[in-house]
Structure 1
Amino acid sequence: MTYNNDNNCKLFVGNLPRHLTYHELRKLFDQVGEVKFAKVLNRENIKVPYGFVIMSNENEAKRARDTFDGYELDGRIINVEISSQNKQGQNQRKVRKYQQDKQLSDRVMFVCNLPYSLGENELVELFADFSCENAALVVKDGQSKGFGFVRFPTEELLKEAIRMMNNHKIGDRYLKVRKAFKDDDVKVESKTTTNSTENFQTQIGQENQEEEEQN
């Protein structure tokens, strides 16, 4: 079997949990694109396990990096880099840098491993018990990529939602949730504005159609 070995499609994934398998690593990255190859190096002589993932193209590799760099996986903050930009020996220094420099949001949650059929209204409803304000799915070509962002009115409700909903089963999937980064706040806000405009235009169109039918 031949893989695309272009370093712009290959990702280095550092600070992995000790018992993570390549199947689990592949399943994680499958959420953001097509995984061609995944490998985990976690032998006993390796102090901190790490791995490699090859995506089908450069855009998917960048999306995977942007999604999972700094992601919490089984208690570890993993770091993800495009292989051509990685210096493996800097792994642990980079992990500490993410922990120190990346600011977490106090209102927005990152959620992944969602069913692809789940819509944004259903995502809001899923977190309705925590007074969810709105949600934004990451979509490509009209199809959900299985992850997105949810905003709450207070940090306390965000923390409670994380505590209660991480590993919550929906269909045949188990949700993975954590605090989003501060930079992600705008993704929910801009999505809300877009949705509001689209909903308004849809509503006007429906009203015009009803008037025409009545006339």
Structure 2
Amino acid sequence: MVKLFIGNLPREATEQEIRSLFEQYGKVLECDIIKNYGFVHIEDKTAAEDAIRNLHHHKLHGVCINVEASKNKSKASTKLHVGNISPACTNLELRAKFEEYGPVIECDIVKDYAFVHMERAEDAVEAIRGLDNTEFQGKRMRVQLSTSRLRTAPGMGDKSGCYRCGKEGHWSKECP
């Protein structure tokens, strides 16, 4: 699996549109848009290289996007899902909170949840113990190991297991 960074995304870009764009080059395992940038997890190195070669400086809604291999996460990290984040919370504030438990490799806030990648698994476990169900910036955070899994494309399979909220019966784009 290779994680790609997509920069300079136009405001109109949708997760499904980005997924479709990258699926021309290989199997997309995960796709997240965070304001004007995003990340795509693509199945193998060859597909990632093809996507970079063909989509770097590609025009999307009249804007040239940047596509490159993501550089800021080591392979030996533990990914945490942090739910119920305050809308006022910044990446720096959340990162600082988790760094109380150990080195943070990456921190990405997506709406009211985030993914925090911690360098050591034992620090991640301590962060879960210390931060799960605690108040941070006026909201009670939910912290757990991320259970990223392969998801079917919209319209395929059943509608169980929204990956944004974890509840069954709807897709993430329909998440309340």
TM-score between the two structures when normalised by the length of structure 2: 0.44
Instruction: Decide which structure has the larger Cα Rg and report it.
Output: 1
Name the structure with the higher helix share.
1
Compute the TM-score of the two structures, normalised by the length of structure 1: 0.37
